[in-house]
A and B are shown apart, each in its own frame.
Chain A
Amino acid sequence: MTERAYIGTRKGLFELARGHEAWKLDAHHFLGDPVSMVLSDRRDGTLYAALCLGHFGTKLHRRDPGSKAWTEVAVPAFPPKPDGSEDKVEWTVRQIWSLAAGGPDQPGVLWAGTLPGGLFRSNDRGDSWQLVEPLWNMPERMEWMGGGYDVPGIHSICVDPRDSNSVLVGVSSGGAWLTEDGGNSWQPRAKGMRANYMPPELAESQNVQDPHRIVRCPAEPDKLWCQHHGGIWRSVDNAATWTEVKPDHGISNFGFATAVHPKNGEMAWFVPAEADQRRVPVHGAFAVSRTTDGGHSFAAYRGGLPHEDCYDLVYRHGLAVSDCGNLLVMGSTTGGCWVSEDGGGQWQLVSAHMPPIYSVVFAAAQ
């Protein structure tokens, strides 16, 4: 079992370490600077931290396994915007919103999703980046809308463990898109999702969907889960179709984060908030919901979590499960951080006083 996690926050990157009896805050890095995304590369143990400096822009730092030193590497950047372009989006990376490692047969390959909604690929561990132009240049991209931010963004990158050239991305708000040829061509993959916030005639349009987060089960790659703006959807056919699942027992279907068990695609976790218009825990009581049967039933777990007067919200990348499937870490926008060692049944508070938490990941197993 891994014994370390990384927490990207509004004011730095923090390490969590498992002590004899409890998880505790450990070393910190980039203290004071916003760390929008963290990637622990399971292929080689490299750690990546994306910074979003308030004045000086987006930066990316890399720490090699066994090293204590960080190296600033290249950052994704858009090419010059063509003269006369009618694109209303500024072609400037505001933030790295997602990072993913390529497949094990593609050492050095990284994917980065940005705000605005660009997908970038590196073949050399971040030393250089190339915009995936076929996705950026799709006419449909011009229809994407902001979701969570003023501009559209790519927050989920799901590489297929069976085929490294097959990559699914989730866009707020622009649906889900799949490439099966390494990024040269893209197909919409949001069929079945429904956007009730849109006019009725557009509600089922794939290109307007707002999947808050999409995750793929590594051992059952056809099984995906999506916490959508309008509820929870799952797919069992590699996103060819999506089916809405509705939590029972009065559990809210609104939220941002989801995680799927690495070996069992029927098991997934969510962190429900009351509703779109009131993004706080239901009745101020924090809970994590879990399904173990593909969404036929859900249970809410509150052990170790605040039962009243709690207003923590877990954002898209604020929930992660380890490779073993029993260990979870969760961080909120108001700086609460919890760990569970029993698959989400019981939670241990690590800190209630961290900066706003953007991203949590477990360290690659050593």
Chain B
Amino acid sequence: MAQLIFTQQLARFLPVPQVTCAEDNLRAALDYAFADNPRLRGYILDDQGHLRENVAIFIDGKRPRCSRRLDDPLAPHSQVYVLQALSGG
């Protein structure tokens, strides 16, 4: 099961979930997380469903290939960190 870890910086605004899922790509895993936390979507993705400019994602230590598609594959035990980028302060 892949694990999604969201930055605790979000806790000022909404409950921060800890998510484990069987999805095999990043977009599907994010959608899984948003299904139970619909308000979270707007904090991570923009109007077009792209990764917000100042949010960073690491999948097993690597950045996604495309911040618009977010279609990177996930391994069964991937760890996905969703963090605030330092650019947006």
Contacts and interface: CB of A to CB of B under 8 A. Distances in A.
Interface of A: 53-57, 59, 72, 75, 77-81, 90-93
Contact of B47 (A54, A55, A72, A78): A78
Given A72-B39, A75-B42, A55 B9 contact: yes
B13 A72 contact: yes
Contact of B54 (A55, A72, A80, A91): A55
Contacts of A55: 9, 52, 54-55, 84-85, 88-89
Query: Which interface residue of A56, A57, A75 has the most chain B CB atoms within 10 A?
Result: A56
B60 interface: no
Contacts of A53: 13, 43
For the complex of A and B, 8 pairs with smallest distance between CB atoms:
A54-B88, A56-B43, A55-B88, A55-B84, A92-B46, A92-B47, A77-B47, A55-B54
Contacts of B5: none
Nearest to A118: B47
Contacts, number: 48
B44 to A, nearest CB: 8
A54 B89 contact: yes
Contacts of B44: 56
A81 B52 contact: no
24 contacts: A53-B43, A54-B88, A55-B9, A55-B52, A55-B55, A55-B88, A55-B89, A56-B43, A57-B42, A57-B43, A57-B46, A57-B52, A59-B13, A59-B42, A72-B13, A75-B42, A77-B42, A78-B48, A79-B47, A90-B48, A91-B47, A91-B48, A92-B48, A93-B47
A10 B42 CA distance: 21
Given A55-B85, A57-B43, A75-B42, A81 B48 contact: yes
Majority secondary structure, A binding face: loop
A78 B46 CA distance: 9
Interface in B69-89: 84-85, 88-89
B33 interface: no
Nearest to A54: B88
Given A72-B13, A72-B39, A56 B47 contact: no
B48 A56 contact: no
B54 A54 contact: yes
B21 interface: no
Given A78-B47, A92-B46, 5 more contacts: A53-B13, A56-B10, A56-B44, A57-B46, A91-B47
Given A55-B9, A56-B13, A80 B48 contact: yes
B51 to A, nearest CB: 11
B73 to A, nearest CB: 24
